[in-house]
Structure 1
Amino acid sequence: MLAWLRFHLLHTTRQRITTAVVVLAVLGGLTGYVVNRATTPEDRSCAKGVERPEGSTECIGVNGDGYDFGVSSLTEVAGLIREENRALKPGEYATVALLLPLTSPDAGMQVKVLHEVQGAYARQYRANHESNSETPKIRLVLANTGKGNAHWRTTVDRLKTMTGGEDRLRAVSGVATSSTEIRQAVAALTGAGVAVVGTTITADDIANGPGAGNNRFPGLARVSPTNGDEAKALAHFGKVDAAKALLVQDTRTGDHYTDTLKSAFAASLKGAPYEPQLFTSPADPTEEGTTANTFRQITHLICDTNAETVFFAGRHTQLRQFINALGSRGCADRAFTILTGDEGSYLGADRKLNRAALKAKLTVRYASLAHPDAWKPAPGRPVPGTGGSTAAYDTFLTDIARASKKPVALADGQAIVAYDAMATAVHAIRQATPQGAQYPELADVVTQWPQVKGSLRVDGASGWLCLDNFGNPFNKAVPIVELAQDGSQKFVQIAWPEGKAPTKNCLPPQGG
């Protein structure tokens, strides 16, 4: 009995006290952990200069240290950029940023982004190693605006802080989609005095021009023709009979590519007997939506006309849906030709395209921004004597081979155009650098565009870049490309907005 009392009074009490102490310690630790979590900001960093904004899982920002933004296809070229940047010495370089939606989930955009980064790197390498030791050397950084360019403001604000210090940002390239977000980004950058060189923006209203109030983006240059110039080049090429043509157009507004393309096509179809056939794409035009149902109905109406040519003003997802629908039309005995803008370049890699449609008396042609066969001589197709050269394209081929262990895909033209945009940025930076100086002042780079013409033009891989006084390419070569039955992109011929190739002096006329 005494042993039992001693155990329950002493040992059990001791256990209870010990247990209580342990429980209190654990609770105290948990409380401290909770308090610490509540008072310590969450680490949302991804890499130097890059972090995840509140409410987003995308890594947004600017980096030139090899970070691939979580996109495995960019790992190799991001590493090459890192090595090139690491080799630069303090004070000997100026920075160019490549502004793109690097983390877009859209498959077509992912391919476009990869090719543009590869093209930009290839030209950075030439600037630093194959330019007779010209200065300054060029540092390249990647700037991510996120899916649909939704986070453009965060990234642009970061870029605006990089014009001084060790970064010495002197130009931004990329800006590759004609969207409202990109228009706002261009306005913010040029408003801050930063030179911008657009790669594949083609909207006529993301450009400067003659007339009061039309210098909306001071310091903006572009290497691609406007949609208006593309439409003129298509018209010169196709010699379309407006009486046998109609327009299929997107009614969604605010998309500068589509808005200006349908205006340009409508101008080419004056006197056409049919009103446009309308569809409305989703707010995000990379989504499928229900437009395929609309196109099934439109194909019935097209069969009710005597049209032979269809101008299509819309983005690539809807273009693919329309081709698929027209390929299974009821009037299969009639031949049709679809003419569209440079969004047609996405079709070659689009796995949802029904290639059998291209065998159903259906021809699809688009105005490309560049094509690997445009400046290659072929039997019956000599290279034009002006407007571009085989030598410039061959130089590009040497350079782009450095951008990947595997051959870089060139058929969509994206790497070519990005290479030329980078060449234009480097040209302006070096032309603006005073004798004896290491790099130019920010304000001097944006004033260079009116002098990029004549003997001071940029001999681009896509053709001559002779800019008018507003930074737009004058009479730029427009490769007409046909989507072949196997889905490949077949070069047809070069067309010119002015109807013929530029003269040797490549000087825009009065009012150009």
Structure 2
Amino acid sequence: MPNVISRYVRTPRRQLVAALVTAALVLGLGWYGFSRLTQPENRSCAPGVARPADSDECIGVNGTGHDFGFADLKDVAEAIRAENATLKDDEYVTVAVLLPLSSTDAGMRIKVLHEVQGAYAYQRRANQESNGRRPTIRLVLANTGQGNAHWRTTVDQLVALADGPERLRAVSGIATSSTEMREAVTALTRAQVAVVGTTITADDIANGPGRKPFPGLARVSPTNSDEADALAHFGRVDAAKALLVQDTRSGDHYVDTLKAAFAASLKNAPLEPQEFTSAPDSTQEGTTANTFTNITHLICDTRAETVFFAGRHTQLRQFINALGDRGCVDRAFTILTGDEGSYLGADKKLDRKALQHKLTVRYAALAHPDAWKPAPGRTLPRTGGSEQAYADFVTDIAKAAPKDRPVALADGQAIIAYDAMATAVHAIRQATPDGSAYPSKEDVGTQWPQVKGSLRVEGASGWICLDNYGNPYNKAIPIVELAQDGTQRFVQMAWPKGKPPTDTCLPPKR
């Protein structure tokens, strides 16, 4: 019988082999650890996109199908990639859509998706259904991150693209009236990159008489002042029976200019505004729901019948929920607000029962799918927009979407993004000299003063006639009501000037 113990006796030879194996393992693992420490971590997400050192978001610019971690963008991002792949190198220019594509806010994600879908629909039309006009359009998606926190990284990339072989000639999107977006627009326009804002409505992210802080900026949405004027013409509100509820958080250009516009409309109102302060990130719930419970008690103490609300959509929803549960439920109230009301239709936290308690919610929309469609008992305005322009959009958006997943249109975001792309392409092609394949970057933003009269853009949301400062003149503003079932019902078209523009659509001298 063999000596079992002898198997475990470490002879000199075995000791040498064990030492060599151990050394090899230590050296191998050491080299692996050393290489991990000395080689930079690969933080790339896709071509042109990477995770910053302090973030897990994929930030940057891409036109090859990357969805920025947002699965709902996958289909449209892939469609953009496929369209871009068909373009000849010497015939295209690039347009970027600048948005917080990796936002985690539910409302913003829906907005982002619809804007990208609208932009792609017009890219497809520009390339495939514009009688062979040139240059063709390459579309890229540019992500500024949650709360637009990484706007600088992405804007620096865009500026480089404008001077490189990709020939970036316009940036669309700019979907929020925030300080970050104001700074982004400033940086882009100072670099002579043309910008077309989709849903920015703040009066102070605009050019005007005696001031052009953003040379090369155009917008396809009305200002907050125009929204307030349209609401005033529509509602003919008795200021003696009106009250303003406003956010005191500073630095939000949408809120700041909206409350100033509402205050101007209510200068004869007898009571001071009721105030609340939202969280630094207005998409967060914060403690404002408690404040609104108190404000509804005070509203019941007034003679008010109409409440103007100057705040973002999260706080608007909280306020509606609170007012629906008010003590004076026997009294009827109407809430009037700006285009942030368009988020309400998809907000699952909205208490729709509140709308059954003599509470009407109406807002000035940027676009609505029923605004330019004929309906029984309603005559379409003769000027300011057209049934045909909207019908063309419907055809384009249907071709651009998967057959089993049509694009939702009720919030107006796809419509307005389509119009922004149409405006950008119009300026790019107008700026292209005879005999040239594409325009210089400097020339695109100089086209805005000529986008009017017979050179206007026949937008799906209405005529886009720009003044000398790049702002839409007397733009059609649909008044929309949030119905009791949560649908967003078109009520009536309103106009900042009280009536539609003339046939010529030429802004008067200021």
Mark yes or no: TM-score above 0.5: yes
SS in 1 for 2:147: helix
The CA distance in 1 between the partners of 2:141 and 2:225, in whole Å, is: 30
Amino acid at match of 2:277: T
CA displacement 1:62-100 (0-9 Å, x = unmatched): 000111111110000001100100000111001000000
SS in 2 for 1:120: helix
Match of 2:318 in 1: 321
Shift in Å, 1:23: 1.4
CA displacement 1:420-458 (0-9 Å, x = unmatched): 000000000000001121000111111000000000000
The CA distance in 1 between the partners of 2:47 and 2:366, in whole Å, is: 34
CA displacement 1:235-268 (0-9 Å, x = unmatched): 0000000000000000000000000000000000
Match of 1:402 in 2: 399
The CA distance in 2 between the partners of 1:246 and 1:254, in whole Å, is: 23
Shift in Å, 1:17: 2.0
Match of 1:254 in 2: 251
Match of 1:176 in 2: 175
CA displacement 1:396-434 (0-9 Å, x = unmatched): 000001222121100000000000000000000000001
Closer, same or farther: CA 244–64 of 1 in aligned 2, 3 Å: same
Q: Is the 8 A contact 1:115 1:414 kept in 2?
A: yes
The CA distance in 2 between the partners of 1:255 and 1:223, in whole Å, is: 20
Amino acid at match of 1:209: G
Match of 1:67 in 2: 66
Match of 1:49 in 2: 48
Match of 1:232 in 2: 229
Q: 5+ residue gaps in structure 1?
A: none
Shift in Å, 1:462: 0.1
1:468 to 2:467 alignment: yes
Shift in Å, 1:164: 3.0
Amino acid at match of 2:376: P
The CA distance in 2 between the partners of 1:152 and 1:55, in whole Å, is: 14
Shift in Å, 1:26: 1.0
CA displacement 1:196-238 (0-9 Å, x = unmatched): 0000000000000001xx1000000000000000000000000
The CA distance in 2 between the partners of 1:11 and 1:193, in whole Å, is: 78
The CA distance in 2 between the partners of 1:237 and 1:490, in whole Å, is: 15
* 1:198-277 matches, cutoff 5 A: 198-211=197-210, 214-277=211-274
User: Which of the numbers 312, 334, 339 marks the counterpart of 1:337?
Assistant: 334
Shift in Å, 1:11: 5.2
Match of 1:302 in 2: 299
Shift in Å, 1:10: 8.9
Shift in Å, 1:16: 1.9
SS in 2 for 1:492: strand
The alignment's TM-score, normalised by the length of structure 1, stands at: 0.97
SS in 2 for 1:326: helix
Q: Is the 8 A contact 2:285 2:314 kept in 1?
A: yes
Q: Is the 8 A contact 2:124 2:400 kept in 1?
A: no
Sequence identity (%):
73
The CA distance in 1 between the partners of 2:60 and 2:349, in whole Å, is: 32
Q: Is the 8 A contact 1:91 1:166 kept in 2?
A: no
* 1:436-451 matches, cutoff 5 A: 436-451=435-450
Amino acid at match of 2:452: K
1:456 to 2:464 alignment: no
Match of 2:343 in 1: 346
* 1:121-160 matches, cutoff 5 A: 121-160=120-159
CA displacement 1:129-172 (0-9 Å, x = unmatched): 11111100000000000000000000000000001332000000
Q: Which of structure 1's runs of 4+ aligned residues deviate more than 4 A?
A: 7-11
The CA distance in 1 between the partners of 2:196 and 2:352, in whole Å, is: 35
Amino acid at match of 2:234: F
How many residue pairs were aligned? 506
Closer, same or farther: CA 9–252 of 1 in aligned 2, 3 Å: closer
The CA distance in 1 between the partners of 2:365 and 2:10, in whole Å, is: 88
Closer, same or farther: CA 10–111 of 1 in aligned 2, 3 Å: closer
SS in 1 for 2:11: helix
The CA distance in 2 between the partners of 1:440 and 1:386, in whole Å, is: 32
Q: Which segment drifts farther, 25-34 or 408-417?
A: 25-34
CA displacement 1:3-43 (0-9 Å, x = unmatched): 99xx7999522222222221111111111111101100000
Closer, same or farther: CA 9–366 of 1 in aligned 2, 3 Å: closer
The alignment's TM-score, normalised by the length of structure 2, stands at: 0.98
* 1:8-27 matches, cutoff 5 A: 12-27=11-26
Match of 1:381 in 2: 378
Closer, same or farther: CA 339–23 of 1 in aligned 2, 3 Å: same
Amino acid at match of 2:140: V
Q: Is the 8 A contact 2:321 2:350 kept in 1?
A: yes
SS in 2 for 1:125: helix
The CA distance in 2 between the partners of 1:333 and 1:70, in whole Å, is: 48
Closer, same or farther: CA 14–460 of 1 in aligned 2, 3 Å: same
The CA distance in 2 between the partners of 1:8 and 1:399, in whole Å, is: 80
Q: 5+ residue gaps in structure 2?
A: none
* 1:161-200 matches, cutoff 5 A: 161-200=160-199
SS in 2 for 1:162: helix
